[in-house]
Structure 1
Amino acid sequence: MSAILVDSAFLSKEDSRRLECKYDLFGHDSYMYLNCDDFEAVFTFTELTGAVITSYLMFLYEQIKKEQIHDRGICFMNPSVILRADQRKPKPKPKPKPKHIEDASRAVADRLYKRKGNDIILLPYNPGNHWLLAVLNLKTTTCYYLDSLRLRSVDEQLRQIIDTAMAVYASESGANIRVKLVWINARCPRQPGGTECGYYVMKFMKEIAHEGVEILDNDNVSLGIF
């Protein structure tokens, strides 16, 4: 990821860099563009974009595949497909879309089908100008909720998205799992200002990838150096 940042630090305002996301990263072929604004956010330590969060998921995925991180059965959800409809960039000729919760729930259910035995799914989510993290553990049918603002309980739209996805997955796959999730508002460090949420979400994901989901049960999510 550092190489990408250094290489792209010289992008002009009009330039962008296309990154291909491997199929196994999100369970579908995809790509994204990083532009000057994305990198300015990183270098100025301001609010991060979805493209930067996705780049970090790519980085963690590559470390796991290269065995630089022990494989703990973790896979990732593409944050762009569960964004609220008004968070997505407008298209020249927009087509009618399903309601956000139905659309996003279908995407999460599809990811569960294609998880290839991985029982821990990291789902970065942006309900509107703020990043938070859901960690779905299929072994225990538990979903951990990490919000560095800690100003509220579990985001209701995110809860509906994941609960609905689990019901769809259980119904269509015939999986022998409990449909009703146990939601845990996990303890985690609190951000000092109003723009650091994306960095905290990346740090949470890094620690879970390195140490396992057990750190959420032990309240050991810390905030060291990336």
Structure 2
Amino acid sequence: MTAIGKEDFEEVFGHLTLGITIINTYIMFLYDKLIRPRGLESRFAFINPNVVHVGSIISKPYEVIAFVLSLFMASKDTEKLFFLPYNTGPNGHWLLVAINPVREIIYYLDSLGNDWTTYPDMKKTIDTILQSFRAQRDIQVPRSRVNNISWIKMECPRQRNGVDCGYFMLRFMKETILLDRLEIPSTI
């Protein structure tokens, strides 16, 4: 269980940039209050942002790939949406990457309006994970479709300051779970 300290409360009540403890606490809240009571465990899952972030992607890419691939393989026969709250670095920006590995679709939600080309290491790692997932499931695709992973930039509300990215990212996850859809609508 995550321990919440005084500084974590100050983040929320002071409307400051959210840290990893608050993000993980809210993920537990979403699971306990929205996913488990509604029997949605087979439809939605979370990728731990303590494990997958810009630092780990750069310093330990193979460990990140193995970790996420093991999550995907555990649900390899079931279509599921995996939420990856992604932080871009120290004092960085939070954005949401929602991945449907079976369909090879990545929904990219960024309250700054950037697209995934802003974070090439993240994109390359996720593409590699999905290609490995495809290979481990022994899915054959024509050469013309080898890189046919669909990245979809979602239109979403924009933050108007330098601190709201974490709040928006949490909202995107909550609203998607409440819709109980594996496809994220074009506007959220």
Common topology (TM > 0.5):
yes
Aligned residues: 179
Q: CA deviation at 1:35?
A: 2.2
Change in Cα spacing, 1:44 to 1:179, as seen in structure 2 (3 Å) is farther
- CA offsets, 1:88-142, max 9 Å, x none? xxxxxxxxxx833332222211111223735111111001211000011234311
- Whether the 8 Å contact between 1:74 and 1:118 is mirrored in structure 2 is no
Change (3 A) 1:45 1:176: farther
- Deviation, 1:152, is 4.5
Q: Higher relative CO (CA 8 A, sep ≥ 6), structure 1 or 2?
A: 2
Larger radius of gyration: 1
- Single out whichever of 43-52 and 164-173 deviates more from structure 2: 164-173
- 2:98: which partner in 1? 135
Q: 1:74 aligns with which of 44, 48, 71?
A: 44
Between the aligned residues of both structures, percent identity stands at 30
RMSD of the TM alignment (CA)? Answer: 2.6
Q: Does 1:50 align with 2:20?
A: yes
Aligned to 1:195: 163
Q: Find 2:83's aligned residue among 122, 125, 147.
A: 122
Larger deviation: 107-116 or 45-54?
A: 107-116
Q: Residue 154 of structure 2 contacts residue 187 of structure 2 at CA under 8 Å; is this kept in 1?
A: no
**Which segments of 5 or more consecutive residues in structure 2 lack a partner in the other structure?**
none
Q: 1:38 maps to which residue?
A: 8
Q: Who is 1:108 aligned against? A: 68
- After TM superposition, the structure 1 = structure 2 runs for residues 1-226 of structure 1, keeping only pairs within 5 Å, are 19=1, 32-63=2-33, 64-67=35-38, 73-85=43-55, 99-115=59-75, 117=78, 119-128=80-89, 129-154=92-117, 155-175=119-139, 180=147, 181-213=149-181, 216=184, 218-221=185-188
Give deviations 1:192-218, integer Å, cap 9, x for gaps. 1001100000000001001144663x4
Change (3 A) 1:190 1:72: farther
Please state whether the residue corresponding to 1:191 is helix, strand or coil: coil
Task: State TM-score, norm by structure 2.
Answer: 0.82
Q: Which amino acid aligns with 1:34?
A: I
